[in-house]
Amino acid sequence: MGTQVTYDDPNYVPTKVDERSEKQKAIDDWLPITSSRNAKWWYSAFHNVTAMVGAGVLSLPYAMSELGWGPGVVVLVLSWIITLYTLWQMVEMHEMVPGKRFDRYHELGQHAFGEKLGLWIVVPQQLIVEIGVDIVYMVTGGKSLQKVHKLVCKDPCKDIKLTYFIMIFASCHFILAQLPNFNSISAVSLAAAIMSLSYSTIAWTASVHKGVQPNVEYGYKATTKVGTMFNFFSALGDVAFAYAGHNVVLEIQATIPSTPEKPSKGPMWKGVLVAYIVVAVCYFPVALIGFWMFGNTVDDNILISLQKPTWLIVVANLFVVVHVIGSYQIYAMPVFDMMETVLVKKLHFPPGLPLRLVARTLYVGFTMFIAICFPFFGGLLGFFGGFVFAPTTYFLPCVMWLSIYKPRKFSLSWVANWICIILGVILMILAPIGGLRQIIINAKTYKFFS
């Protein structure tokens, strides 16, 4: 896969002088990404599962209904293969320079594209993904709690606005956000990973139990070719949203110890492989069985189509709540790191609990406020997300690989990377078009502060 620098390189100097000052070392030991490096390989497994298998898996049957059987299966399988390949690239590039670790996505971008350009290319996209996902999870958590309330509370029962459920969901994050680093949220992440596997299993097994619905149809729901085309584009965005874990992978790898004899890429790759097996076990049965049972009448959340048994749907929604609690924290941690780096290194605020308390509380409050104002944010993310999910996940790692390793023209590595880049760019262009149309169509039903 191109010419790589390894620890066996004769030019490698194992004892590189640490040129950081005592103050810089203290700051790095305090920042969330670099403060703890004693994670095991299984930490990376459930961190990656939590980051990857979002509640978006429940919308995959709906995406299949807009893609159709043939294209849908191709898009699902290709996305799994391409994103596994680009994830492998990022794991490999984490320590490509002897004695140095690229602990953050933007640091790798700076090495590939230059100090300033790398920041401008990576940081805006990464922030849009991470903040956007956190806002979506605020809405998702609130809606799942609201669904549980409606199912459990029988008439007469007061209807409670979604706003209050989002606030209830957000309340736990004001506390969890104070956990200092990835290792400290490992228990939350493990619980979230188990929950994602659980509610995915409930979704497809309950669909099998319900059976193929009478008069099921697998053709496109739209009555016009234009409508079918735009729905197809929108579904591409839904699939892209399901593979957003690359935005936190280097930060997760940064928590794993590394030596020249045992670099972190070994245990990290083992964790990634386990995570991707879990991803396949979650994604493919839910997408294919859900579409098989309900056809093109399937809802954008498969749990809504199932409806009964009530107790099972209640349990599944509670599992979703627990999962998005963990996912929120996984995506928030790199944002906390960026915020605290700027506050301490650029603005020279003293590192400590007061700074962390104020900065992280403001971030949770901000994502809660946006979720309350725009409870239809998922639709907006389908539009904006196409611009950033596709690059950071599907082809930006390939561009960096070509830029750094410069594989021989028309070699296997060169061809594979260019295929990923071309497909990723197509996805980046088409998905926002479908998302924009979806926003326009649903604009009449959108309600602020609902």
Read off the pLDDT band of 81 (50, 70, 90).
very high
Residue 269 has a pLDDT of 93
391 preceded by cis ω (within 30°)?
A: no
CA 252, CA 268: separation in Å to the nearest integer? 9
Residue 28 has a pLDDT of 79
CA angle 88, 133, 109 (to 5 degrees): 45
Count other C-beta atoms under 10 Å from residue 123's C-beta.
16
Number of domains in the chain: 1
CATH at 435: 1.20.1740.10
Residue 3 has a pLDDT of 43
- For the purposes of burial, counting CB atoms within 10 Å of the CB of 3, is it exposed (0-12), middle (13-18) or buried (19 or more)? exposed
Residue 219 has a pLDDT of 83
Main-chain phi, psi angles of 101, to 5 degrees: -120, 135
CA 428, CA 383: separation in Å to the nearest integer? 10
Residue 8 has a pLDDT of 44
Count other C-beta atoms under 10 Å from residue 39's C-beta.
23
Read off the pLDDT band of 421 (50, 70, 90).
very high
| Residue 197 covered by a domain | yes
| Residue 10 covered by a domain | no
Residue 382 has a pLDDT of 64
Tens digits of residue pLDDT in 139-185: 889 988 988 888 888 777 788 888 999 999 999 999 999 998 888 88
| Residue 421 covered by a domain | yes
CB 253 within 8 Å of CB 39: no
Domain around 246: 33-445
| Distance from the first to the final alpha carbon of the chain | 51
| Residue 21 covered by a domain | no
Tens digits of residue pLDDT in 180-223: 888 888 899 999 999 988 988 988 888 888 888 888 888 887 77
| Residue 215 covered by a domain | yes
Tell me which amino acid residue 404 is.
I
The answer on pLDDT for 361 being more than 90 is yes
Instruction: Looking at 94-185, list the stretches that DSSP marks H as alpha helix, in order from N- to C-terminal side.
Output: 105-113, 115-152, 162-176
The answer on pLDDT for 386 being more than 80 is no
The answer on pLDDT for 450 being more than 80 is no
| Residue 24 covered by a domain | no
The answer on pLDDT for 316 being more than 60 is yes
Spell out the residues 6+ positions from residue 105 whose beta carbon is closer than 8 angstroms to its own. 122, 126, 246, 247, 249, 250, 251, 334, 392
The answer on pLDDT for 12 being more than 50 is no
Residue 166 has a pLDDT of 93
| Residue 400 covered by a domain | yes
| Residue 162 covered by a domain | yes
- Arithmetic mean of pLDDT over the chain: 85
Residue 399 has a pLDDT of 94
Residue 58 has a pLDDT of 81
